[in-house]
Chains A and B, each alone.
Chain A
Amino acid sequence: MLATLHDALSLLGHFDHRLLDIVGLSLRVSLSALVIGALVGLPFGAWLAVADFPGRGAVIVALNALMGLPSVVIGVLVYLALSRSGPLGSYGLLFSPSAMILAQSMLVVPLIAAVSRQIVEDAWKEYAPEFSIIGIRRPQAVLLLLADCRFSLSVATLAGLGRAMSEVGAVMIVGGNIDGYTRVMTTAIALETSKGDLALSIALGVVLMSIILGLNVAAHYLRCWAVRRYG
């Protein structure tokens, strides 16, 4: 056990290139998914917060339900869409980092949209009377609310990154866990553990835990700073 831990720390200490490649790909895939998730999820969530249409309640319930969707289900859906006979099969994306980004985006978008809907709706309840009297239209209101809630929304977005980075099922299915091409931290940990190479698993686990912990620390301090700076 101690020898395994020693080997893991050695991999980390020597910046093992195999380990760095895996961490680099993980970050590239998850950050890309996060950017897509934020670009789609934030405006959609904010729009849903101020929108008024029949069936809005059903959309909110569906969005909240999608937050808890198992990642393997997303993986299967993306697999079916990207497989040769699927609607997007002609693009040849299956078993590529792009497929993994797509799958992780589908996981992150509902999370960011649902959380931002709740945050923006709370602000909207407070601001709506004044906006109405001033003559602010709903599209302008969405932009103002996104700007006003920027710090809370940043925390929601960081939560989305955590969800993307710690996900394993979907990227395993649509990425194929190909060494040097689609192997990310979570899929590598699963594979190396099953092979008995615990040193690499532990080293990757330490990196993954550090990133998740770092994100939470960043979210906490961002919120504290924002409250002090902006009230």
Chain B
Amino acid sequence: MFPLSIKGLRFAPEQRVVLDGLDLELSGEGISIILGPNGAGKTLLLRLLAGLLPPHAGSILWGAAALPDGRLAMVFQQPMLLRMSVFANVEFALRPQAMSAAERRARTDNVLERVGLAHRAKDCARLLSGGERQRLALARAWAMQPRLLLLDEPTASLDPSATEAVERIIREIRTEGAKVLMTTHNLGQATRLADDIIFLAEGRVQEHAAAQRFFAHPQSPAARAFLQGELPWRIAFDR
């Protein structure tokens, strides 16, 4: 499944170029964080990797294969929760996997315990708070034992306490061997979590570097401007 190799990826719906020949290579370890301005195509890149959209050009190779041979999970900014119990919202995601009902129950109980939602297992999922909802979505993804976990701004609109809880879970998932690829607008969070940073702008990867090096010495002018809070390329790109 790894290295994940993306070459010349292009996505341009209705003549609007969002990704324009994006190249990227990812190893199978650690947490990679995608940074970039709004509209840079961060979420789109995750959706293309998840197979939710077909690219208009370019290739995605998982090792040497066109399709991932390991499990892939994704947590969205607004997690999808069925009008069912917290337990059922995790358990249903295991049904496509070949395992007995007892195994499904045991694994569901285990992940709910680890994300701190075991005491709410029987409650309706849609009545959870924002932070609990995101922890539940992470529990569902975790239960699937993914080789690659895609996270689309998992802490957007969460308070610091809920954000800390989500970050702790992400670290645990990484420790268990899953590769994590996530987007965020929170630079503090990127500093805390990231092993490496992928900086996206103008439809391409402008910089891909170890997190410490990226924040200390950004190499590309675009990344420098982004970190300083200036976004000149958006105006140029929109033209």
Contacts and interface: CB of A to CB of B under 8 A. Distances in A.
Interface of A: 126-127, 129-130, 132-137, 140, 144, 147-151, 226, 229-231
SS of B interface (majority): loop
Contacts of A230: 83-84, 124, 126-127
Given A133-B73, A229-B124, A144 B96 contact: no
Interface in B29-82: 47, 50-52, 72-74, 76, 80, 82
Nearest to A128: B52
5 contacts: A129-B50, A134-B96, A135-B96, A140-B96, A150-B83
B53 to A, nearest CB: 10
Contacts of B52: 129, 132-133
Given A132-B52, A137-B96, A140-B95, A231 B127 contact: yes
B133 to A, nearest CB: 10
A151 B126 CA distance: 14
B96 A132 contact: no
B39 to A, nearest CB: 20
Contacts of A133: 50-52, 72-74
B82 A148 contact: yes
Nearest to B124: A230
- Name, among B72, B83, B124, B127, the residue most crowded by chain A CB atoms within 10 Å (CB to CB): B83
Given A126-B80, A148-B83, A231-B125, 8 more contacts: A129-B52, A132-B51, A133-B51, A133-B74, A136-B96, A137-B96, A151-B83, A231-B127
A130 B124 contact: no
A78 B32 CA distance: 65
Nearest to A127: B80
B46 to A, nearest CB: 10
A20 B50 CA distance: 61
- Name, among B73, B82, B96, the residue most crowded by chain A CB atoms within 10 Å (CB to CB): B82
B80 A231 contact: no
B74 to A, nearest CB: 5
A177 to B, nearest CB: 44
Which 7 A-B pairs rank lowest in CB-CB distance, beginning with the nearest? A231-B126, A135-B96, A130-B80, A230-B83, A134-B93, A230-B124, A148-B82
Contacts of A130: 74, 76, 80
Contact of B84 (A132, A137, A148): A148
A144 B92 contact: yes
Contacts of A127: 80, 82
Nearest to A149: B83
